[in-house]
Amino acid sequence: MSMEMVAHVRQYSKSTRSARLLLLVIASHVSPTTGLAWPSIATLVEETGYTERHVCRLLKSLERGGELRIEHGGGRGRSNRYRVMVPGEFSTAPVTRRKTLTSMRSKL
């Protein structure tokens, strides 16, 4: 799903320049089962080449713009969780394992 999410962000995101690159990096980390990404700030810094301060500013900007939802990790060693909220023809709703197992059981 991460490649699908990257393609979705490329097509529908209204963000530009450095914010767009950061959103694309986050989208590349999206889990297909949960719809969430949880790269650390250090990973985002490494993969974008931006400073930590700039990454934090961009995260706030993307959140204010409605293209990213951030669930804060709550302290040192606990990564934030990110949900890409770019509107378009792609469902950003998570597919949970529980629903998958339930649907499989009903077919048996």
Model pLDDT, residue 2: 74
Model pLDDT, residue 89: 53
pLDDT along the chain (108 residues), means of 10: 82 90 94 91 96 96 94 82 78 44 47
CATH number at residue 9: 1.10.10.10
> For tokens 């490494």, what's the residue?
46
Q: What is the total count of domains within the chain?
A: 1
Model pLDDT, residue 95: 41
Model pLDDT, residue 88: 65
* Residue range(s) defining the domain that contains residue 83: 2-107
Contacts for 69 with CB less than 8 Å, ≥ 6 apart: 63, 82, 83, 85
* Two tokens, residue 39: 């790269």
Strand-pairing partners, residue 81, are 71
Q: What is the pTM of this model?
A: 0.77
